[in-house]
Amino acid sequence: MANSIKVFTDKCVGCKMCENACPFNAISVVERLEHPKKFKLAVIGLDKCTYCGFCVQTCKFNAIELKKDVPQAEVDKNLYRGVWVYAEQRHGEVSGITYELLNEGKRLAEKLGTALSAVLIGSNIKSKARELINRGADKVYVCEDPIFTEFQDDPYSGVLTQLIEKEKPEIILIGATNIGRSFAPRVAARIRTGLTADCVSLEVDTETRNLQQTRPAFGGNIMATILTPGHRPQMSTVRHKVFKEAKIEEGRKGEIIEYKIDVQTLLNRTKFLGFIKDTSDTVNFDVADIIVSGGRGVGSREGFKLIEELAELLGAAIGASRTAVDSDWIPYSHQIGQTGKTVAPKVYIACGISGQIQHIVGMGSSNIIIAINKDATCPMMQAATYALEGDLYEIIPCIIKEIKSFRCG
């Protein structure tokens, strides 16, 4: 059962009474130049609408109809085929998480015996389609228009919704970035399907073709696997750095499909004013081959000076557990884990970190894990490639001394 709401275009005069009455800012009144009397039209954003009925009560022209508990038509899942990856880009550059999703998407597509497609939305962006094919996409849908120059929720979610309704993919993967987390729920609401956020693992049942979407739940204390068996497509946002990037295969064959859209059909309730780049002193974990992290065992803010010294010698970034951040020993920008950043460096050195699931989720894909801890039974020591049992205040100075000695020699 579901709710439905409809605006009758032949009755609506664009008086804005419903827009002013809506407590959820779900209604926008837009121009419709084709109307003989130049009446405007109320448009209801289903991603915000709660079906409260205030607009229906307010409208003097009976132009809005609300129906509650309307039986939903059963989805014919046989009509849906293919795995899609949303190819996120900013200012003409494809984000690294796109290549991670293409790698995992290819694996899922091969298990299902279907094609892998990428969706690229932007302005003058077609030249990037070849990169996506070289990374594993069999098809690339390119949606180009000046309206897509800068990311805005309404036009981006509108064009992706239209493309989904036309092509009917069975799985859609979107990066759990600021952009993905913003507009993926809007798309899911419009096409009336489920969305599993912040996934760290994906698998498919080849018999039912159901996507098994695993993500942390209850504050990261358990890992929950979520299914969307009754709806299609199945949508997931996936955390950065939980999968490896797809390798480049130069000259790989693929199809580039230019999707033409009438931008007049896209709702846009915001105006882009400008882009201000963040120049604050933040940690760029994306390019760090080595990360040295400190946790509860560091013991104090001063203790991080030892972590900083080791990191400087190794040319490493500095990370931290949530406990260290909550204790105000180091800023939040250094936090790694479920509520921080997800990383996958070549070498991850965990100093005094017990390794609760919330932290492991954020760094478990590291190539080599070196753990330093007094407790040999803690989860981090068990997950480590190399486990050094002992006091970090004794072990780290020895490592620093050896590095300096090696360099001098």
pLDDT digits (tens, 9 = 90+) for 326-342: 999 999 889 998 878 88
At residue 72, the pLDDT reads: 62
At residue 79, the pLDDT reads: 93
Cα 308 to the center of its chain, rounded Å:
31
Convert 149-203 into a string of H (helix), E (strand) and C (coil). Answer: CCCCHHHHHHHHHHHHHHHCCCEEEEECCHHHHHHHHHHHHHHCCCEEEEECEEE
Q: Please, are residues 368 and 290 in contact by the beta-carbon 8 Å criterion?
A: no
d(CA 333, CA 284): 9
For residue 279, is pLDDT > 60? Answer: no
Give me 262's structure tokens: 């009438």
The percent of residues above 70 in pLDDT, for the chain, comes to 96
Domains of the chain: 2-70 (3.30.70.20), 77-261 (3.40.50.620), 285-408 (3.40.50.1220)
Give me 139's structure tokens: 């098809």
99 against 404, higher pLDDT: 99
First CA to last CA distance, the chain: 74
For residue 282, is pLDDT > 60? Answer: no
Cα 396 to the center of its chain, rounded Å:
36
Rounded to 10°, the helix 153-167/178-191 angle is: 50
Window from 99-108, 274-283, 351-360 with minimum mean pLDDT: 274-283
At residue 278, the pLDDT reads: 60
The pLDDT-based confidence of 73 (bands split at 50, 70, 90) is low
Q: What mean pLDDT is predicted for residues 149-163?
A: 91
Q: What mean pLDDT is predicted for residues 370-379?
A: 94
For residue 95, is pLDDT > 70? Answer: yes
pLDDT digits (tens, 9 = 90+) for 124-140: 999 999 999 999 999 99
For residue 397, is pLDDT > 80? Answer: yes
Instruction: Kindly state the helix (H) or strand (E) to which residue 387 belongs, with its residue range.
Output: strand 386-389
Give me 228's structure tokens: 């969307």
Q: For residue 246, which of 142, 171, 346, 137 has the smallest C-alpha distance?
A: 137
The percent of residues above 90 in pLDDT, for the chain, comes to 65
For residue 276, is pLDDT > 60? Answer: yes
